[in-house]
Structures are given as structure tokens and as C-alpha cells.
Amino acid sequence: MASYDLVCDECGHDFEVFRQGFLKDEDRVCPDCGSSEVRQKFSSFLSSIGGSSSGGCAPSGGSPFG
Ligand SMILES: [Zn+2]
């Protein structure tokens, strides 16, 4: 028995499917919204750790405690 982590592209609902073999088309359906736009998540993915000095959310000038 293998478990597959799936995520729905429509509503973003992530769920798990237990299947002995490979996934079938009927398994790749979101139980939340019923969409078939479901893709398999990868257990290990690269996450960008560390901050770049770009893309800040600071306005130029103006302080909330001014
Ligand atoms: Zn969905």
C-alpha cells in the first residue's frame, strides 16, 4: 500500500490517496470540489531559505509610529 500526496489546482485542497498500485484516473479527483485538475505533490522540494534584499514591502518614507 502506497500513499500519494495530491493537491487540487482548482481549490488548492491537498489530500492523500492510499492505493496499492499506481494511481488511476478516478483517484485523481479532488474530493472537495470534484475537479480533475489534481497533481501529485513531491515529498521533497527545494525551498529558498535566506532573504534577498529585493521584493520588500516597505514604503519609501512614512513610519507607522510617526
Ligand atoms: Zn479542489
Instruction: State in Å: Cα 18 to ligand 1 middle.
Output: 18
Render 21-60 in DSSP notation, one character per residue.
SSPPTTTSS-TTT--S-EEEPPSS-----S--SSS----S
Instruction: State in Å: Cα 29 to ligand 1 middle.
Output: 8
Angle at alpha carbon of residue 10, lines to 7 and 14, rounded to 5°: 20
pLDDT at 53 (0 to 100): 58
What is the residue whose three cell numbers read 501529485?
40
Instruction: State in Å: Cα 14 to ligand 1 middle.
Output: 8
Low-confidence ranges of the chain (pLDDT < 70): 43-63, 65-66
pLDDT at 47 (0 to 100): 52
Instruction: State in Å: Cα 42 to ligand 1 middle.
Output: 18
pLDDT at 63 (0 to 100): 67
Give the bridge partners for 40, in sequence order: 6
pLDDT at 22 (0 to 100): 86
The verdict on pTM exceeding 0.75 is no
